[in-house]
Amino acid sequence: MVHPNLHCHSNGLGHTDDLGDAHVATSANTPLRPEAFEMPDEQKIKKIAEHFSQIMDVLGLDLKDDSLSGTPQRVAKMYVNEIFSGLNPANKPAITTFENKYQYKRLVIERNIPLQSTCEHHFQPIFGVAHVAYIPNGRVIGLSKLNRIVDFFARRPQVQERLVMQIAEELKKVLHTEDVAVYIDARHMCVQARGVQHHGASTITAEYSGKFLHEATRYEFIQAIQTKMPD
């Protein structure tokens, strides 16, 4: 879906620039080609390193310098194995749930989950925290798995609105419940390091479903994530 306030320029370039500068997502799913994972990671690293060498060369950098000669390979490995590892379904964490034998029926909240992602419009870092919650149905999940789900969907080129939705949908699927909440507060380097360059600005997105659509439950969640830990 195209943002209603954005207008396409005749050559198409202005339109895509507007989308990127406005941080507009075009899909709730990460845009991927069908054949995205046919190429082995080793080959991807090799090709990315070759292309990044060309970028550095165009910028006028001397790749014969000891400090720069290994940079293309380092960047390629970082892209594939680290900051964009969440693109590959093979890296999706295995999630095991357990029977809710003790019949706990109130909020389970994992808050202040460190979040590191990458803006898909400028490939600049996103840093922040995620808070996730659910109300158990018949199953519960190990707390660390909530962190792993957040990390998996964050480690790809992202738009924060999409990220919060993807995490919520995965939680609903894994836990077989609609009663989930996801809240993200993050700083975007594409806002702080370029463009408007407003340091300290952060973006908040939230996704609520099921019982979290009720004001009282949502209020309990918000109050809990904003409460400071005792010293």
DSSP letters, 154-222, are HSSEE-HHHHHHHHHHHHHHHHT-S-EEEEEEEEEHHHHSSTT--TT--EEEEEE-GGGGSHHHHHHHH
How far apart are alpha carbons 188 and 195 in whole angstroms? 11
Q: Centre a 10 Å sphere on the Cβ of residue 25 and count the other Cβ atoms it contains.
A: 20
Q: What confidence score (pLDDT) does residue 200 get?
A: 78
* pLDDT score recorded for residue 75: 98
Question: In the block, which residue shows the tokens 């380097």?
Answer: 189
Taking the domains of the chain in order of start, what are their residue ranges?
13-91, 97-226
Contacts of 212 (CB under 8 A, 6+ apart): 133, 179, 180, 181, 218, 221
Query: Does the pLDDT value for residue 156 go beyond 50?
Result: yes
CA 82/CA 144 separation, integer angstroms? 19
| CATH number at 13-91 | 1.10.286.10
Q: Would you mind telling me the total number of residues written for the chain in this entry? A: 231
How buried is residue 212: exposed, middle or buried, by Cβ count under 10 Å (0-12/13-18/19+)? buried
CB-based contacts of 11, cutoff 8 Å, min separation 6: none
**Most confident region among 15-19, 65-69, 199-203 by mean pLDDT:** 65-69
The DSSP 8-state label assigned to residue 46 in this structure reads H
Q: Are 149 and 95 in contact (CB under 8 A)?
A: yes
Q: Does residue 2 carry a pLDDT above 60?
A: no
The mean pLDDT value for 179-184 works out to 98
What would the pLDDT profile of 85-133 be if each residue is shown by its tens digit? 999 999 999 999 999 998 999 999 999 999 999 999 999 999 999 999 9
pLDDT score, position 3? 39
pLDDT in tens, 74-97: 999 999 999 999 999 999 999 999
Q: Judge if pTM exceeds 0.75.
A: yes
The predicted pLDDT at position 162 comes to: 97
Residues 141-150 have a mean pLDDT of: 95
* pLDDT given at position 170: 97
Please, which residues bridge with residue 131 across strands?
A: 183
Structure confidence at residue 1 (pLDDT): 36
Give, as one character, the DSSP assignment of residue 116.
Answer: E
Average per-residue pLDDT in the chain?
89
pLDDT score of 83: 97
Q: Any idea which residues carry the catalytic annotation?
A: 119-122, 160, 188, 190
pLDDT tens sequence across 30-62? 999 999 999 999 999 999 999 999 999 999 999
- For domain 97-226, which architecture applies? 2-Layer Sandwich (3.30)
CA–CA dist 62, 68 (Å, integer): 7
β-bridge mates for residue 114, sequence order:
129
pLDDT of 155 > 80? The answer is: yes
